Chains A and B, each alone.
Chain A
Amino acid sequence: MLGRTASSLFWMSRYHERAQNVTRLLEVGFRGAIISHSGQEDGTHWTFALSCSGCEKGFAQKYDELNLRNVAAFMIFSKDNPDSVRHCLELARNNARAVRTSITAELWEAINTTWIEFNEVNPQTITQERLPDFLAWVNQRAHLFRGALLNTVLRDDGYFFSQMGNFVERADNTARILNTQYWTLLPDSDIIEDGTAERYQWSAILRALSGRRSYRYAYPNARLKAFNIAEFLILRTEMPRSLAHCYDWITETAEDLAKFYGSREPSLDMAAEISRDLSEKQMREIYQQGLHEFLTEFVGRNNQFAQQLSEDYNFA
């Protein structure tokens, strides 16, 4: 397989995952905006979506007013915002197009149809009433992409690289969301434990990571607690967006890749090491180390792993 093909498959998946993550953050921001009762539009919810997706700075440079119209324009449709849904979908499709010969017809049709239909949407028509349906549609299309990938693609090196891209991005996204909001997740936040400390941010974080419901199954008393939320999203392997889960998947894929090529590269050992660290850690130790420090270090290691992978396999 060409190094460039490996790279395109990695980024095709990575950008698709990012498009979906940005979409979910917008859903959370929108939900917050419509249930706030202060009478005026409350900007906090939009700030949450913008900062978690890394769009805050770019937005501030372009817009003065924090409202649905501006945030949606910037995060969904903007051609200037490198993290907009549009930009992610376009790059995902360009990467897929560059490797048309290495992906299945089902997968290509899923990607291509998403892009065609997305482009037929006039941003002016996405009003407050239509936004939820539209975001749900983007979400569905992202699930279709992943379903087509899992169901039709041959389990060879191409598949392995696509999985790497997917889970490197997901781990990055989860870690960044947690890190942007880390102070709300410090155990001191609910020191009184009378339940009133349940913060808007907690459920927003869980929703942004599709974990609002599953949290209640993972923690039978179902009460939202900073400690549990952090543990759920960092260390619990059964949570499909936790850091531990992402690195389980990456390590398994790394083993498959080593078997496929009959040789181990440095990046595979890096993945195993990150995975081992996560599995041996207790939440208490992470708090002792400092949540913010831990997350910052994780984001760095995750990046280094992706960098090493691209060097080991000649991503062009």
Chain B
Amino acid sequence: MAEERTFFNEMLDDTGEPRQAYARLAQWLEDKPANFLTKKSRDAEMIFRRLGITFAVYGAQDAAERLIPFDPIPRIISASEWRRLSAGIDQRVRALNAFLHDIYHRQEILRAGRIPADLILQNEAFLPEMAGFTPARKVYAHIIGTDLVRVSENEFYVLEDNTRTPSGVSYMMENRETMMRLFPELFQSHRVSPVEQYPENLRQTLESVAPDPAKSNQTIVVLTPGIYNSAYFEHAFLADSMGVELVEGRDLFVDSGKVFMRTTRAPKQVDVIYRRIDDAFLDPLTFNPDSMLGVPGLFDAYRAGSVTICNAPGTGIADDKAIYAYVPDIIEFYTGQKPILNNVPTWNCSRPDDLAYVLDNLEDIVVKEVHGSGGYGMLIGPTASKREIAEFRRVLMANPSNYIAQPTLALSACPTHVASGVAPRHVDLRPFVLIGDQVRITPGGLTRVALKKGSLVVNSSQGGGTKDTWVLED
């Protein structure tokens, strides 16, 4: 059996004393009666359900809406920790945007031999249709959610860059609102950086990349696949908090190279589309002809420069799992600096040597699908049974290039409300970054927590929960 792994405890140091940022919270937790958090959790659930803050689980029988479990104990990040993190994120998102501009133009990085050309040009996420086109301000990925894990006092690793349509920001906002309702006294005793400016920042970002940024009244829309999408609540939340229309593909049409929405009166021209649908569903004329979701002619209007699509089509190449291993090279190539945040060492199963190593070490490592997401189709060696490993070995050998592998990281743990009281549970962190006229990183983010003891899978589709994330001010 796997022995107890050691991990970094974010609240307590090795002697069992609370770390400085957690000192007040630790005391507060100690002072509260035993059933206090249980009651507060129930209050929180009631709030979430009434507000309709729900998500859908794909493939589940009752595909209807569920709540993501909410843990009422905040996760705390000190001001100095955050400064380092945000510098690393800033560096990374700038490099990724430079990379996107390059591979859709002169492809210097391929000419320099830093990335194998096939890995880009043969990649499904690479859109030849984008070649030679330059979006406003040369920004491709305007909204990024960088997935991070912590393994020690000073070591953070980036797991994924999420440059397509990252979700979860509405949970960051609603978790904070709920915490302020539940525990006003904790906010009095901590100086917590606010997150409520996010919608305003998002709107500024979108306006700054409009085809004509000087225009005074930009028409911005959020494009959703509709009410059955798992993140529909978030789409509605963002449109509402920015004060813009929430549209579906059928609400938009293209006429004379411009995009319009169908209103109760005259059609209204749209300047910026914050799309929450995948590339393949944007425009049936250019991409997937079977799609019912898209807007025929949208891509031509985009290329003609009459509308901005955020994130740009084709940004998926920057968070492709096969490209991930090259991100440190990408950062050095475009910024001339060493990466501030670590990349997780990654084996590409398409390479015979890497595959051989992966097959020999399945019990110790994590294997993921190149194009997978949400914790589906992955193997976590150390917690998997012999049978699961044998099963996965077969699947992996059948199609090795579909997989990458990484060492199992000892995710840090935060105090979490569990049946027996308060116990450490493993967490990750997704801060949200906006890139337009400037790079804006909201202090905080979404902390996901694996509620099962010892579990390292934080995905909500696999029983993970969320926490409010506090960045303290100096």
Contacts and interface: CB of A to CB of B under 8 A. Distances in A.
Contacts of A6: 264
A3 B261 CA distance: 9
Interface stretch (B46-54, B75-83, B382-390): B46-54
Interface stretch (B90-98, B242-250, B435-443, B465-473): B242-250
Contacts of A80: none
Contact of A313 (B50, B240, B264): B264
Given A3-B251, A101-B239, A314 B52 contact: no
Interface string A66-106: 00000000000000000000000000001001111100010
B265 interface: yes
B51 A109 contact: yes
Contacts of A314: 262-264
Contacts of B51: 105, 108-109, 112
Interface string B7-39: 000000000000000000000000000000000
A154 interface: no
A3 B262 contact: yes
Contact of B248 (A4, A108, A113, A261): A4
B50 A100 contact: no
A1 interface: yes
Interface string A1-38: 11111100000000000000000000000000000000
B264 A101 contact: no
B157 interface: no
A5 B248 CA distance: 11
B240 to A, nearest CB: 4
A316 B251 contact: yes
B262 A108 contact: no
B231 interface: no
Contacts of A109: 50-51
B267 to A, nearest CB: 9
B392 interface: no
Interface string B47-81: 00111100000000000000000000000000000
B227 interface: yes
Contacts of A101: 236, 239-240, 245-246
A113 B50 CA distance: 6
A49 B446 CA distance: 52
Nearest to B244: A101
A41 interface: no
Most buried by B among A4, A101, A157, A261: A101
B236 A2 contact: no
B104 interface: no
A155 to B, nearest CB: 15
Interface residues of B, number: 23
Contacts of A100: 52, 233, 236-237, 240, 246
Contacts of B263: 1-3, 314
A112 B50 contact: yes
A97 B52 contact: yes
A2 B251 contact: yes
Contacts of B49: 116
B297 to A, nearest CB: 18
Contacts of B233: 100
A1 B227 contact: no
B136 to A, nearest CB: 25
Given A97-B52, A101-B239, A261 B265 contact: yes
A4 B251 contact: yes
A100 B250 CA distance: 18
B250 A316 contact: yes
B326 interface: no
Contacts of B232: 97
Nearest to A116: B49
Nearest to A115: B52
Contacts of A97: 52, 227, 232, 236
A313 B263 CA distance: 8
B25 to A, nearest CB: 30
Given A101-B245, A316-B251, A94 B262 contact: no
Nearest to A6: B264
A199 to B, nearest CB: 45
15 contacts: A1-B263, A2-B263, A4-B248, A94-B227, A97-B236, A98-B227, A99-B246, A109-B50, A112-B51, A113-B50, A161-B264, A313-B265, A314-B262, A316-B250, A316-B262
Interface of A: 1-6, 94, 97-101, 105, 108-109, 112-113, 116, 157, 161, 261, 313-314, 316
Given A100-B246, A112-B51, 10 more contacts: A2-B247, A97-B52, A97-B236, A98-B227, A109-B50, A109-B51, A116-B49, A116-B50, A261-B265, A314-B263
Interface of B: 49-52, 226-227, 232-233, 236-237, 239-240, 245-248, 250-251, 261-265
